Structure 1
Amino acid sequence: MDISPEQVWARWTKPEHLVHWFTPAPWKTLEAECDLRPVGQFRSVMAGPSATLEAHKQMGFHDGWGKALDQLIAHMKQLG
């Protein structure tokens, strides 16, 4: 990746960035919270074309994270 660790950290821990890349397309992250304190929480709301369990299984969780990483990199390159 040609982005710095500091850029990755910022895009991973700030909700305004998470909503752009966190779920594999065509799914979307509608809301995100990321409280980095020891008692904090991480919360996200996701939506997709079909919310059924079978569709989610067929989407492929492992492949989805690779797509999310690609989307994170693309989002970060847009911001410079």
Structure 2
Amino acid sequence: MTVQRLKIAMSEYDNDRWRIISGKVGNGFSATACKEKALEIEMDDDDTAVLQRRESYTAASLLSESTTITAREPLPEGS
């Protein structure tokens, strides 16, 4: 098997895959339109995942800092 034949087969498979997907979506959407929309959705999902990781990291950092800073302060005199 040559590398070129493998690349051609992979390309044909990808084209067939999007043709099948567009058929399932219906309403006259082309294979190209479905593929482009799927890529757009993936990019949005990637952006959301990055933002969520940043928010989780920030929340964890704040939590660990606050527990370190406020751990066992002496009671004010007269209490």
The reply to whether TM is greater than 0.5 is no
**Larger Cα-atom Rg:** 2
Higher fraction of helix: 2
Higher fraction of strand: 1
Identify the structure with bigger relative contact order (alpha carbons < 8 Å, sequence gap 6+).
1
| Structure-1-length-normalised TM-score | 0.30
| Structure-2-length-normalised TM-score | 0.30
